[in-house]
Structure 1
Amino acid sequence: MSTVPVSGKGAVRRGRAPAEFAHPVLDRLVHVHPGVAVLLYVPVMAVCVYGARGQGGAWALTGWAAAGYAAWTLSEYWGHRLVLHHEPERGIGARLHWLLHGIHHTYPQDVRRSVLSPVLSVPMVGGALLLGCGAASLPLTFGAGYAFGYLAYDLVHLYLHQAGPRNRLLRHLRRLHMRHHFRDDTRGFGISAPYWDTVFGTSLIRGGRAGAGDSR
């Protein structure tokens, strides 16, 4: 078993993180290739859109898809802030934190540690479908919008770590996220939706700009 550092407080290391489990299959279930997220959630979106036929007009269904996306952005912010950055000092909680997020802060360039583990993403997306489209009887496009938001977050987060964006918006998102990693991991929890940091008082923007020189 690896040592369990606390995210943002241990040394940042380059390259790939070592396997966390003796059995490689188990390790691949926890830390997956980014393509797995696409394979999992594109079909979910397609099934939800197809199944929403007859649940409302085109504009209404589009509106529910937008609501699902907005619900995801709040899940992204609060999940990152309260779950992924809940950092127990010892025991199973510390181990889980390391596996689900601490390892990403220590090895920020490891592709397999830059996408959210299915251990978290499947319950989140599945829960949105069960609660929103099941219990609350919302149109299935709500679930499609939520799944789209999750997949967009995963791919944007991966891109911010692995690429050098030329687009102005993506450069801005990268500066904010690198500041979260290398300057202050107690702020900047909205990755694809940083406006929630402004709303909830955890913004990393100072003096109107996102810290020049943070694009590591």
Structure 2
Amino acid sequence: MSKTPNTAVRPKNTGQKVIFDNPVLESLTRTHIAVPISIFVLFSIGLIVYAFTYSQLPSYLIGILFISGLLIFSLVEYIVHRYVFHMDTDTDLKEKIQYNFHGVHHEYPKDKGRLAMPPIVSVILAISLLYVFHLVIGEYTFAFLPGFVMGYASYLFVHFAVHAYQPPKNFFKVLWVNHGIHHYKDHNKAFGVSTPLWDFIFGTLPK
């Protein structure tokens, strides 16, 4: 029978989890949110400047590809959160992987140091995405990937904000409410962080 440890985890709004006894390894699991956001924003800007300056892509197509990248990232965000971070943990290994990847965040949702991947992982991810996308879609990468990466930077910002600050008194409040429901009431709802779009489409939007 599958089991999902998040259902048994009681969120703690203070403290933090030590994953590695080795202090060097432990430090690599933590980061200030501004570091990865800065990495991805600068990476996105660099790519989009390259697209306008050196590629043969027309301006209108660069805009379309950029917006497409934003949209596709939001779908990837939803899928990864729902099916990877909340995978069925039917083995001890899966349970350990799930906890270290995401369960620890559900147990300590206010731990600001673990709201994003560490810088070294962010750099490796950015370079890997550039290589893979260029291999698949060639020159279109320089317009599509900036949108995709900016989508990720936006996700990081929203995710940090909903955990670190009180909700605003405007329509953005829905992001705080949905993520609060996901953490404190029903972890099988509200998988979208930066947008509720895919929760609405796939029927996981909280009532």
Bin of the TM-score, shorter chain as denominator length? 0.7 to 0.9
Could you tell me which residue of structure 2 aligns to residue 80 of structure 1? 81
- Tell me, what secondary structure is at the counterpart of 2:62? helix
Tell me, yes or no, if structure 1 residue 185 matches structure 2 residue 184: no
Could you tell me how far apart the structure 1 residues matched to 2:121 and 2:102 are?
11
Structure 2 unmatched runs, 5+ = none
Counterpart check, 1:200 vs 2:202: yes
Runs of 4+ in 1 over 6 A off after TM superposition: none
By relative contact order (CA 8 Å, sep 6+), the higher-ranking structure is 2
Q: Is the 8 A contact 1:49 1:140 kept in 2?
A: yes
CA shift in 2, pair 1:26/1:10, >3 Å: same
Q: TM-score, normalised by structure 2?
A: 0.87
TM-score, length of structure 1 as denominator length: 0.83
Deviations 1:126-181 (A, max 9, x none): 55433433321124121111110001001101100110122422211100110111
Q: 1:71-122: CA deviations, max 9, x gaps?
A: 1001100000010001415433222211110011111111012224568766
Residue 25 of structure 2 aligns with an amino acid whose one-letter code is L
Superposed CA RMSD in Å reads 2.2
- Aligned residue in 1 for 2:162: 160
Aligned length: 201
> Can you list the C-alpha shifts for 1:37-82, whole angstroms capped at 9, x where unaligned?
1232123112211221233122211111111111100110000001
Answer whether contact 1:64 1:145 (CA < 8 A) is retained: yes
Q: Residues 38 and 151 of structure 1 are in contact (CA less than 8 Å); yes or no, is this contact kept in structure 2?
A: yes
Q: In 1, are the aligned partners of 2:175 and 2:193 still within 8 Å (CA)?
A: yes
SS at 1:30 equivalent: coil
Aligned to 1:18: 17
| Structure 1: stretches of 5+ with no match in the other structure | 207-216
Q: In structure 2, what residue type is equivalent to 1:100?
A: F
Q: Which has the higher helix share?
A: 2
Q: Which amino acid aligns with 1:55?
A: Q
Report which stretch shifted further, 95-104 or 34-43: 34-43
Amino acid at match of 1:73: S
Change (3 A) 1:117 1:95: farther
Give the aligned residue type for 2:79.
Answer: W
Q: Percent identity?
A: 26
